[in-house]
């Protein structure tokens, strides 16, 4: 039984772990527990995984009457979760973050079912901090996260992110040709996340004229919501032939082995993918996320030389172009960044988690 929701960063690691369990024929049955309105309610059933729901909401960060309702919902959710655990009889229950996982993991722990949580970021979420007191094992993707669980150090295992193992074995292919780009040319991928990021898009628009004549090519992914606005602005600019602008890329991981440099946010899933493949990166952390955890993620990367940290407050067309030029003009630096990035990766993350699961069950 597995639960995680709210954002793709909680959902996709869970799906990657399930996929690996299926590949190794270790899964007799699985149930994914989410909320009826969360992102997981669309993604998980579409992946063909049995899905059940619990009505729950997160706590507000300020004192409000909504939190009284949240407590009531949590109590009701735990009751339903206890019944779900009794009916499904899982060997183990795993939480991958998001408030929905609180009820099912807590209920399982109280029922003495083996439990674990997975924290994808350098800064732990509220739900995982709460559950850490009750679970048998705390899995982390960044070494820095260990400090968030000061009184549960004996439970911690550094395993990385299951998403990493999904992409680690990918090989270069011809996907760049789908975008009229050469598979034989160095490529910069600019990607502001699945929804896109306006500040990154605006900086790229400023830099576009200066990409002309460069030895590299640029694949600029705007995000569906921003595509029309971006193309409208670019209509007044002569876009060089080595720059391709697209709204979205299906199966993004498949194109990553052909990427020389990635410019993007510092979400946990993105970092898991680029460290698994050793892709040098310029990270522009989102300042709008809880506890500013993306900045901490990016700092962990930058401190080893694996990435360049470019704060959004310093992001302009000029600063972005300069950062790209420095890396793309220096083959030795690219190699060093590649090595440093690989060193942070966990290409066997799912298998390592499965080994811990088996120890807990047996």
Q: Which long-range CB contacts under 8 A does 59-67 form with residues at least 24 apart?
A: 59/99, 59/126
Torsion of CA 43, 191, 278, 7, to 10 degrees: -30
The answer to whether 319 is annotated as binding is: no
Taking residue 288's Cβ as centre, other Cβ atoms within 10 Å add up to 9
Q: Token digits for 202?
A: 């605006």
The answer to whether 267 is annotated as binding is: no
Map out the domains of the chain as residue ranges. Answer: 2-163+347-361, 170-344
The answer to whether 121 is annotated as binding is: yes
- Contacts of 114 by beta carbon, 8 Å cutoff, 6+ apart: 91, 92, 93, 136, 357, 360, 361
**CATH code, 2-163+347-361:** 3.40.50.2000
Amino acid 169: pLDDT? 87
Amino acid 194: pLDDT? 73
Reduced to 3 states, what is the DSSP secondary structure of residue 358? helix
The answer to whether 294 is annotated as binding is: yes
Span 64-84, average pLDDT: 80
List alpha helices for 191-344, DSSP H.
198-207, 227-234, 268-277, 293-302, 317-328, 331-344
- Domain 2-163+347-361 and domain 170-344 have a common topology: yes
pLDDT tens-digit readout, 203-213: 999 999 999 99
Reduced to 3 states, what is the DSSP secondary structure of residue 90? coil
The answer to whether 192 is annotated as binding is: no
Backbone angles phi, psi at 61, to 5 degrees: -85, 0
pLDDT tens-digit readout, 123-178: 999 899 999 999 999 999 999 899 999 999 999 999 999 999 999 989 999 899 99
* Whether CATH 3.65.10.10 fits 170-344: no
The answer to whether 25 is annotated as binding is: no
% pLDDT > 70, the chain: 96
Give the DSSP letter string of 281-321: EEE---TTSGGGHHHHHHHHHHTTTSEEE--GGG--HHHHH
Span 176-195, average pLDDT: 93
The answer to whether 49 is annotated as binding is: no
């Amino acid at each position: 039984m597995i639960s995680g929701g709210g954002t793709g960063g909680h959902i996709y690691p869970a799906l990657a772990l399930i996929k690996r369990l299926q590949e190794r024929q270790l899964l007799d049955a699985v149930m994914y527990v989410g909320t009826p309105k969360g992102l997981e309610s669309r993604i998980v059933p579409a992946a063909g995984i049995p899905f059940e729901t619990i009505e729950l909401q997160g706590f507000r960060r300020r004192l409000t009457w909504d939190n009284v309702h949240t407590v009531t919902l949590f109590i009701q959710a735990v009751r339903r979760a206890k019944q779900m655990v009794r009916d499904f009889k899982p060997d183990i229950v795993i939480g991958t973050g998001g408030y929905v996982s609180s009820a099912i993991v807590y209920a399982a722990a109280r029922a003495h079912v083996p439990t674990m949580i997975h924290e994808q970021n350098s800064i732990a979420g509220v739900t995982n901090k709460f559950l850490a007191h009750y679970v048998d094992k705390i899995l982390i993707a960044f070494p820095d996260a260990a400090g968030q669980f000061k009184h549960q150090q004996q439970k911690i295992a550094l395993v990385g992110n299951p998403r990493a193992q999904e992409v680690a074995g990918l090989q270069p292919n011809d996907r760049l040709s789908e975008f009229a780009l050469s598979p034989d040319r160095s490529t910069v991928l600019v990607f502001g996340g699945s929804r896109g990021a306006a500040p990154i898009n605006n900086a790229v628009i400023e830099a576009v004229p200066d990409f002309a004549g460069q030895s590299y090519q640029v694949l600029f992914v705007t995000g569906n919501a921003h595509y029309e606005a971006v193309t409208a602005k670019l209509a007044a600019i002569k876009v060089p032939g080595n720059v391709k602008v697209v709204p979205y890329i299906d199966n993004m991981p498949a194109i990553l082995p052909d990427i020389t440099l990635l410019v993007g946010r510092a979400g946990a899933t993105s970092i898991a993918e680029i460290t698994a493949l050793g892709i040098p990166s310029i990270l522009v952390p989102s300042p709008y996320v809880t506890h500013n955890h993306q900045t901490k993620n990016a700092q962990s990367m930058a401190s080893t030389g694996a990435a360049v940290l470019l704060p959004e407050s310093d992001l302009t067309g000029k600063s972005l172009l300069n950062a790209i030029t420095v890396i793309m003009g220096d083959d030795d630096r690219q190699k060093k960044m590649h090595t440093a990035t690989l060193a942070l990766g966990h290409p066997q993350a799912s298998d390592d988690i499965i080994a811990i699961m088996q120890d807990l069950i047996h």
